Amino acid sequence: MSMPLSGNEAIAHAIKQINPDVMGAFPITPSTEITEYVANFVANGEINTEFVPVESEHSSMSVCIAAQAAGARAVSATSSCGLALMYEMLYVAASCRLPITLACVNRALSGPININHDYSDSMGARDTGWIQLYAENNQEAYDNFIMAMPIGESPTVRLPVMTCMDGFITSHSVENIDLLDTETVQQFVGEFTPEHYLLKKENPLAVGPYDISAYYMEHKVQEAEAMKAAKAIILEVSARFEKISGRSYGLFEEYRMEDAELALVLIGSTAGTAKAAIDNLREEGVKAGLVKIRVFRPFPGEELARALSKIKAVAVMDKSEGFSGNGGPLFAETRSALYDLKERPHMINIVYGLGGRDVRIEDVGKLFERLAAIAASGETGPVYTHMGQRSREETK
């Protein structure tokens, strides 16, 4: 069934079809609509979810942790400073191995105050132990949320999953997307049947106990191993999803990479702009390509290194400032992944689009011109630069 939906509506529709046990949520732009839609579904008796309105995002994640630990399936949605306020509880959810599903509608973090899109919120939470999936468009946002539960709930994983989409660009834009029927979704997701939970009287247990030094490291290693195991599970779930939807997903998408000499690596909706620019360049004979990262955690390092091994020059585009003095988070991960290649491409980092600053097809075209010059000369020039900002003279 095809239906015009915004990204927020698509996520809410996925939640409606899944009919989770509990949703703990607090409104924040631009994810507020998700909770509004779900609250309406509950009020109208369309789903049986226990909707828990709370006083803050810290509390909404606390509700999800309690529900999931008790044996229920829990979901939430948030953005920006709301995710930052959850920070403590994100670690708790992951370390307790509770497969909560969270829709993160990406928005710039304060300050200065800004309600538009970049990835500073989810990138700030990249090391909390959550699996992270990113969507280019509304269809992927819907599909990712449905796939998130069987990924996180897999016995070899048992980790929470954050499905991310671009605030306003994806969350509020309306596109025709193909919806699965509810019965198919529920069969695909299945029932949540945890082996251990608080209300299982046959096997009492503690959740989130104090972990002294004799135990803490062992539990963190188990968590790290689960994140590594998640990569294979993501691919298995994606293969199952393709059978019911006809839509194929991997750890990343390669666009016109079969003979590419110059390439971009990026995340999210900018891929659409980049694809249009690449199509134009291909008509001019430029061998341009794109790798769109879908799974940022676990990071597909080995696979990405293979995809970029024959490229002459690569630009990694970060829609988040890492403040490391050396570039953004996607660049750091990508550069590290390619370190062991015997022959590495020249690589630069472009930080762009902060706080919703626009990027155009022409901007991507100029970036490929720079990559072509690097490939021809072998001289990289400045490795870490920003794109799209005004000069100091222009802002006076």
CATH number, domain of 321, equals 3.40.50.920
Both 140 and 237 in one domain: the answer is: yes
Q: What is the pLDDT of residues 54-104, one digit of tens each?
A: 999 999 999 999 999 999 999 999 999 999 999 999 999 999 999 999 999
pLDDT score recorded for residue 387: 97
- Do 236 and 349 reside in the same domain of the chain? no
pLDDT of 396 reads: 52
Domain check: are 256 and 240 in the same one?
no
Please tell me the predicted confidence (pLDDT) of residue 206: 85
* pLDDT tens digits for range 216-255: 999 999 999 999 999 999 999 999 999 999 999 999 999 9
Same-domain status, 130 and 148: yes
Within 10 Å of residue 261's Cβ, how many Cβ atoms? 16
Is 392 inside any structural domain? Answer: no
Q: Does the residue 328 lie in any domain?
A: yes
In this structure, how many other beta carbons lie within 10 angstroms of the beta carbon of residue 283? 8
- Considering its fold, how many domains does the chain have in total? 2
What pLDDT, on a 0 to 100 scale, did the predictor assign at position 394? 64
Is residue 394 included in any domain, yes or no? no
Per-residue b or e along 82-107, where b marks 16 or more CB atoms closer than 10 Å to that residue's CB: bbbbbeebbebbbbbbbbbbbbbbbb
Distance between CA atoms of 117 and 354, rounded to whole angstroms? 7
Q: Provide the whole-model pTM.
A: 0.97
273, 361 contact by CB (below 8 A): yes
Residue 18 counted as domain residue: yes
Q: How far apart are alpha carbons 172 and 312 in whole angstroms?
A: 38
Whether 218 and 189 map to the same domain: the answer is yes
Q: How far is CA 289 from CA 232, 265, 278, in A?
A: 26, 9, 6
Residue 37 belongs to some domain of the structure: yes
Task: Clarify whether residues 153 and 284 are in a common domain.
Answer: no
Domain boundary among 230, 245, 260: 245
E-assigned strand segments in 48-207:
50-53, 74-78, 101-106, 131-134, 161-166, 174-178
Which of 193, 211, 245 is the last residue in one of the domains? 245
The encoded tokens of residue 376 equal 């021809």
Please state the φ and ψ torsions of residue 350, each to the nearest 5 degrees. -120, 115
Q: How does pLDDT run across 197-225, given as a tens digit for each residue?
A: 999 989 888 888 899 999 999 999 999 99
Reported as half-sphere exposure (CB side, CA atoms, 13 A), residue 122 has a value of: 33
Quick check: is 135 in a domain? yes
Instruction: Tell me the one-letter amino acid at 193.
Output: T
Is 395 part of any domain? no
Whole-number Å distance between alpha carbons of 4 and 392: 43
For the chain of 396 residues, list the mean pLDDT of each consecutive stretch of 10: 96 98 98 98 98 97 98 98 98 98 97 96 98 98 98 98 98 98 98 92 87 96 98 98 98 98 98 98 98 98 98 98 97 98 97 97 98 98 96 64
Give backbone dihedrals phi and psi of 8, rounded to 5 degrees, phi first: -65, -40
**Same-domain pairing of 216 and 361:** no
Domain of residue 307: give its range. Answer: 252-387
One domain for residues 171 and 187: yes
The DSSP H or E segment spanning 275 is: helix 270-283
CATH code at position 57: 3.40.50.970
Do 148 and 99 form a contact (C-beta atoms < 8 A)?
A: no
Both 215 and 271 in one domain: the answer is no
Would you list the DSSP string of 127-159? TSS-EEEE-SSHHHHHHHHHHHHHHHTSTTT--
Which among 245, 276, 294 is the end of a domain? 245
Same domain, 336 and 272: yes
Amino acid occupying residue 313: A
Q: Does 82 lie in the same domain as 61?
A: yes
171 occurs within a structural domain = yes
In contact, 331 and 293? CB cutoff 8 Å? no
Q: Are residues 268 and 169 in the same domain?
A: no
Indicate the residue type of 73: R
Strands 131-134 and 161-166, sheet pairing: parallel
